[in-house]
Structure 1
Amino acid sequence: MAGIKEVAAHAGVSVATVSRVLNGSPRVSEDARAKVRAAVEALRYRPNAVARSLRTEATHTLGLVIGDILNPFFAELARAVEDEAREAGYTVVIGNADERPERQDHYVRTLLEQRVDGLLICPTAEVTPLVRDCVAAGGPLVFLDRTLPGLQVPSVRVDGTGAVRELIQHLHGLGHRRIAFISGPDLLSTGRERTRAYVHAMRAAGLEIREEYVEAGDFQAASGQAIAARFLDLPEPPEVIFAGDNLMALGALDEIRARGMRIPGDVALASFDDVAWFVHVDPPITAIAQPAGELGRRAVRTLLERVAGRPVKPVVLPARLMIRRSCGETGRTQR
């Protein structure tokens, strides 16, 4: 098996540079980082932590690597994972990937070095050599909330297809026809799934899918605000802005308010992802709620089955539409 020196020679960089790349250091040029990743892939280099496998003896700790700790959905998810693990006698060590593959790999490597009994990973868009090697090593590993193409890993996730269909039907019933969608990144499984759900739901309702009404954000508030601005500047702006997650919905809300527009009088607003503060704004925001608590609990149970060496099946939980007044409702609120 190739070692770090062979990787350095293949990439034409120093051993120190390879080490920095493998540890997620920002002090490496993008060119050098790309060369190292290509060499790791070509040589099938497996870091020592993976080669020694996920665990040698029980430590009663689990590792959790999540996408963005500042996102309320992930914060609630992490809390549920921690609570369920504690009930089972385990401690959880959490790493925040900040949606960056190199940071994800840094935390995965660190958790492996700490001999966690199992790993829960909410993967970034990129299939990194380290994650692929973790899968090949066959240790206790479960993907949470997202999946990666080409990797056969037990997963625990939410399917919002039915709830998106209910939302579009609801909006159609209220008389809305021009429904714009701020989607998530197409590189992420959740971004692709929500876009497909929107397209299928619009077609099922007999509504036109206009190219200028669909644009991809990055699951961050700034992208939601920028895209909402472009929607509202169109010669024929949409009647509804449907944001693909709660942070992009927040950005859209900021843009609508900055223009002095009324919700839902001037434009309606809906969100995929429900958060606590949605019921405290005026008007309360219609949203698709993901069962983050149940998602985290089921993920821990699934992982512990893997730790025990038992086979597991994928877990798919349904999302739920929460109808409020931001789309023109008459005051009916669900909780």
Structure 2
Amino acid sequence: MSTTAGQRSRPQRPTIISVAEHAGVSKSLASRALRGEVGVSQEKRDRVMRSAKTLGYRLNSAARSLVAHDSGVLGVVLNDIGNAHHAQIVNGIEEAAREQGLRTLITHGARHAHELVHQTNTLLEMQVDGLIIASSWMPVETLTDLGQELPTVVVAHLENPPAQVDVVASDDFTGSTAAAAHLIALGRRRLAYLTRSMSATSKARWAGIHGHAHTAGIEPELLHFTSEDLAPVRDGLAERRWDGLITNNDQTAAEVLRLAHETGVEVPNELAIIGYDNTPLAQLLYPNLTSVDQPQAAMGKRALTLLLDRKTNPEASPVRDYYTPELVVRASTSA
């Protein structure tokens, strides 16, 4: 809202979110520190108190005394709302939520940990009953705090998931191993894994590719490139450096296919390409894309079930559900 001449805009009152961000902690930890609860280190408690004083934050006694209640709303946090993999997960979550008469609030943080934390804090401020986080970029400390405050389920591969959250994920090591085995069975020897990030997910996939290739006497290449700079990929294609590629997702595979066409590399005769996620895009490309299938919708539904189970049984042991992916072979690896 704009202000007219002669009017003064009312200064914004600091919130628990602004205190948390100023102190560099999660909203849930800031809340516990301000309420004097146990489980917060003295160093962090002091940091939160200093931030609250600096910002002029006053704890709302009325809000502090409210009895917890169900809002019927669940928060969903994604890396990228435009990513087809995440869209399928959301479809599963929302279908299961509708069956339970629940609503969802969805936000995304674009693979930036600070933005993911900020968006999550916003959902907490809106009093959601639980969180489903489809990202492996959320800081472990934040996940621990969230799991202590409300039911939290992560739909992503985590290297060391904290005991306070439940996890639903695809077995990335097994999926990437199957992809590497397929290329090697086709006689491909110059293999590479192309990825835009080295998240826990990509690390697990690289481990599967490297491990299986190594047993076959092959040393695969790891190419980590940015979304803005495709030059390393273009150069590798122009040099005919590879005859078999596995990409971090179908979208990356689509860009590699385009670059292959531009550099005169024939797919699959000269270069076999495998994507990941088996999104609808895989069947729209030419040639159709071989891809590792993850049951994203089923994972989303399972995440919501686990969240509701955690609400009714908060002391249960943490759940670790891993789905076995399947390789769907199409024309990009077989003539």
Question: TM-score, normalized by length of structure 2?
Answer: 0.77
From 126, 136, 153, the equivalent of 1:114 is 126
Structure 1 pair 120–247 and aligned structure 2 pair: CA distance change class (3 A): same
Cα displacement string for residues 278-320 of structure 1 (whole angstroms, at most 9, x for unaligned residues): 1232211111011101110100001110111252521111111
1:129 deviates by 5.3
| Correspondence for 1:229 among 217, 234, 237 | 234
Matched, 1:326 2:313: no
Larger radius of gyration: 2
Q: Is 2:142 aligned against 1:134?
A: no
Cα RMSD after superposing both structures: 3.1
Determine the structure 2 residue equivalent to 1:202: 213
Contiguous gaps of at least 5 residues in structure 1? 1-14, 24-32, 331-335
SS of corresponding position for 2:24: helix
Deviation at 1:77, TM superposition (A): 0.8
Greater shift in the superposed pair: 56-65 or 277-286: 277-286
Note the alpha carbon deviations across 1:151-200, whole angstroms, 9 max, x for none. Answer: 222101100333322222222221211111113522x2111111111111
Whether 2:194 is the aligned partner of 1:193: answer no
1:105/1:131 contact within 8 Å kept: no
**2:179–2:209 CA contact under 8 A, matched in 1:** no
Name the structure 2 match of 1:216: 224
Deviation at residue 106 of structure 1 after TM alignment = 1.9
Q: 1:52 to 1:65 in 2, by over 3 A?
A: farther
- 2: CA distance between counterparts of 1:57 and 1:161? 41
Who is 1:170 aligned against? 182
Q: Counterparts of 1:119 and 1:278 in 2: how far apart (Å)?
A: 30
Q: 1:301 aligns with which of 284, 301, 305?
A: 305
1:131 is displaced (CA, Å) by 3.8
3-state SS of 2:322 partner: strand
Specify the alignment match of 1:94 in structure 2. 106
Corresponding position of 1:37: 24
Deviation at 1:85, TM superposition (A): 0.9
8 Å CA contact retained: 1:66, 1:74: yes
Contact 1:147–1:189 (Cα < 8 Å) also in 2? yes
Residue 170 to residue 131, structure 1, CA distance change in 2 (3 Å): closer
The secondary structure found in structure 2 opposite 1:95 is strand
1:154/1:313 contact within 8 Å kept: yes
Aligned residue in 2 for 1:250: 254
The unaligned stretches of length 5 or more in structure 2 are 1-12, 31-40, 53-58
Change (3 A) 1:229 1:20: farther
Flag the 1:255–1:270 CA change in 2: closer, same or farther, 3 A.
Answer: same
Give the counterpart letter for 1:216 in structure 2.
H
Q: Normalized against structure 1, the TM-score is what?
A: 0.77
Which of 141, 149, 154 matches 1:143?
154
Match of 2:278 in 1: 274
Q: CA deviation at 1:111?
A: 1.3
Q: Tell me the distance in 2 between the aligned counterparts of 1:245 and 1:156.
A: 19
Q: CA deviation at 1:118?
A: 0.8
Give the Cα separation in 2 of the matches to 1:217 and 1:319: 25
